[in-house]
Amino acid sequence: MRILVITDLYPIMEDEKYTPRTIEAFVKTWQKQGHEVRIIKPNFLLNSYIRKKPFYKDGIYGNVENINYITPFLGDIKKKIKTLFAPDVVIAHMPSGLIFANKLGVMYTAAVHSSDIEVLTNPIYKFYFKTELENAYKNAQKIACRSYVLREKFLSLYPQYKSKTFVAPSGIDESIIIERNWEEREKVRVLTCGQFVKRKNIDKVIKACEKYENIELTVVGSGKLEKKLKSISEKPIFTGQISRDEVLEKMRQSDIFILPSRNETFGMVYLEAMASGCITVCSKGEGVDGIIQDGVNGFLAEDVETVLNTILEHPNKTEILENTRKTVYNYTEELMAKNYLDSIME
């Protein structure tokens, strides 16, 4: 099958540090499964500047064509496309990708990320992007919501599209899944990991763990709030920014992973923590809520201290970990990539 992915959320160079790799993971898995995949990366330059994305000149980089636009895709956008490709399936991600795909006049599947919900609900986007995005969803053949929570949020806004929506979660590399039982230690090892920005709520984890003498907290990441977070308590171990392999090793050494983040599209870090044998906690109504079932294979937090108490007092933590492992085997990269295409072709 020939697949065309249209999105600005895609790395061009291997050393791009802050470009999420979730869509790239789908592309690489589809390629392994025998599909031919090309990517068009349409960049509205002002948006790229605001988001501090790396800049690349127009051109084809491997299987990615980067196309820059000063105006937000006005006029005949086809004139600038150099990629010669007759796709069987077109998949668009992120607002710029959806608007671009809609203007091409082809059949396509439109994805729903947290950024799309922001455009559809924030008044700042009212005069152009909201209208264009609504038209893109109206004209889409299928709508792929990146999590169960996002499907609920999207359908609360546009219930008329229920019949053409499906959930397309990310998948985990099966090779990193390990089997672990709960180990009783003198100190319970808690890990949190993410960019040091407000919506990650890492400060809430630090404040909650500060109250427990039997908890050792490790904080992985960096960002503009680093000084503020370090001022909350002297107890946590701050590692700074470390590689993905090092993060996975920290997860395997930890007992509990907590990240009470808000406005998450999905959150691969939660699946990685589950695969690494951590009792995993995400915010209720965010990210992997729907994959994590509260008290069954992890926990959904509304208050960090409350959920810590629940975990520490739980009589059978090993059973939680067994359920966690069974869950992640149902969310491998191969299964989720196949699920995505099967749902489109249904």
Who contacts 309 (Cβ-Cβ below 8 Å, separation ≥6)?
Answer: none
Tokens matching residue 89: 């399936």
Higher pLDDT, 150 or 69: 150
Give residues with Cβ within 8 angstroms of 258, minimum separation 6: 190, 191, 192, 205, 280, 281, 301, 304, 307, 308
- Checking if the pLDDT of 73 tops 90, the result is no
pLDDT above 80 for 47: no
Instruction: Look at residue 342 and give its three-state secondary structure.
Output: helix
The number of C-alpha atoms within 13 Å of 108 and in the hemisphere containing its C-beta is 26
Determine the Cα–Cα distance for residues 151 and 90; give it in Å rounded to an integer: 20
Alpha helices (H) along 51-169: 94-104, 114-121, 129-139, 148-157
Distance CA 280, CA 10 (A): 28
At a CB cut-off of 8 Å and minimum separation 6, what does 327 contact?
274, 291, 292, 297
What mean pLDDT is predicted for residues 145-158?
96
Instruction: Give the whole-angstrom CA distance, residue 303 versus residue 260.
Output: 9
Q: How many CA atoms lie within 13 A of 243 on its CB side?
A: 4
* Residue 346 in this model has a pLDDT that exceeds 90: no
Residues 176, 275 contacting (CB under 8 angstroms): yes
For the chain, the average pLDDT equals 93
Sheet holding 2-6, edge to edge: 59-61, 64-69, 36-44, 2-6, 89-92, 109-112, 142-145, 165-167
Amino acid sitting at position 250: K
Report whether pLDDT(13) > 90.
Answer: no
Cβ contact 209:262 at 8 Å: no
Of 18 and 329, the one with more pLDDT: 329
User: Has residue 144 got a pLDDT over 90?
Assistant: yes
* pLDDT for residue 116: 94
pLDDT on residue 14: 83
- pLDDT for position 84: 82
Report, as an integer, the average pLDDT of 48-65: 86
Closest by CA position to 190, among listed 242, 276, 251:
251
Query: 142-145 and 299-301 as β-strands: parallel, antiparallel, unpaired?
Result: unpaired
The pLDDT score that the predictor gives to residue 125 is: 87
Question: Measured between alpha carbons, how far is 157 from 58 in angstroms, rounded to an integer?
Answer: 36
Confidence of residue 89 (pLDDT cuts 50, 70, 90): very high
Q: What is the pLDDT of residues 301-336, one digit of tens each?
A: 989 999 999 999 999 999 999 999 999 999 999 999
The pLDDT score that the predictor gives to residue 45 is: 82
∠ CA 272-11-276 to the nearest 5 degrees?
10
Per-residue pLDDT tens for 184-243? Answer: 999 999 999 999 999 999 999 999 999 999 999 999 999 999 999 999 999 999 999 999
Note whether 194 and 226 are within 8 A (CB): no
Question: In angstroms, how far apart are the furthest CA atoms of the chain?
Answer: 66
Residue 162 in this model has a pLDDT that exceeds 80: yes
Mean pLDDT over 256-275 rounds to 92
Q: Are 43 and 68 in contact (CB under 8 A)?
A: yes
Query: 68 — phi, psi (to 5°)?
Result: -95, 140
Contact by Cβ (8 Å): 253, 276: no
The whole-number pLDDT of residue 25 equals 94
Calculate what percentage of the chain has a pLDDT beyond 70: 100
Give residue-wise pLDDT tens across range 94-139.
Answer: 999 999 999 998 999 999 999 999 999 999 888 888 999 999 999 9
Q: What is the pLDDT of residue 180?
A: 92
Instruction: Reply yes or no on whether the pLDDT at 72 is more than 80.
Output: no
Tell whether the model's pLDDT for residue 74 goes beyond 90.
no
